Amino acid sequence: MATVEALITAEEFGRRPDPGCPEELVRGRIVTMPPPDRMHGFVCNKAGRILGNFVEERNLGRVMSNDSGVITERDPDTVRGADVAYYSFARLPKGPLPPGYGPEVPELVIEVRSAGDRWPEIHEKVAEYLNGGVLVVVVLDPKRQNAYVFGADEPPRTLESDNDLLMPGILEGFRVRVGRFFE
């Protein structure tokens, strides 16, 4: 007789003790991931600082990092760990942050491609974010030193290191040369 693996919810996933290694919940199942390498951490931190400084100076919202959980699907649940995420105060109001994973969805997610990441998995994660209500997903590729910009209603764009990344309609006035994320 075959056994059926029980699926867990985002809430159950969030109540578990810290396993000491990166994990995501994908359609009710826990997926363990290897810890990212130094370059991944460097680019995530740089992206978080650049975006966070812009947002904080203008009092626009909140920037999360360190694989903060974003619920992208329900029944079965998926919780993805965004490398960097921007929530405007319209989506996540000022005040104390509620515990756990909330129903709020960020406007912008930045993912950093690790050496072992494959494009089919990256595209799946990008599609989940966009289908879940994220407006734009940016994938930074340290190896190529470029950015891939995905929007829900537009074709993907590739920005080279000397191109500027802009966020019209999300972060008016935001402009950064793509290469800056990798310096």
- Of 62, 131, 56, 49, residue with least CA distance to 92: 62
Number of domains present in the structure of the chain: 1
> For 80-84, 114-118, 130-134, 177-181, which range has the lowest pLDDT when averaged over its residues?
114-118
| Mean of all residue pLDDT scores within the chain | 94
Query: Is 5 inside a domain boundary?
Result: no
Which pLDDT score, from 0 to 100, does residue 60 have? 98
Query: Is 3 inside a domain boundary?
Result: no
Taking only the tens place, the pLDDT of each residue in 8-46 is 999 999 999 888 888 899 999 999 988 889 999 999 999
Q: Is the Cβ–Cβ distance between 163 and 155 less than 8 Å?
A: no
Residue 82, burial from CB neighbour count under 10 angstroms (0-12, 13-18, 19+): buried
CA 169 to centroid of chain Cα atoms: 18
Which domain does 174 fall in, by range?
10-182
Which pLDDT score, from 0 to 100, does residue 3 have? 57
Q: Domain holding 131: CATH number?
A: 3.90.1570.10
Query: Is 141 inside a domain boundary?
Result: yes
Query: Is 135 inside a domain boundary?
Result: yes
Query: Is 35 inside a domain boundary?
Result: yes
> Residue 41 is inside which H or E element, if any?
helix 38-58
Query: Is 137 inside a domain boundary?
Result: yes
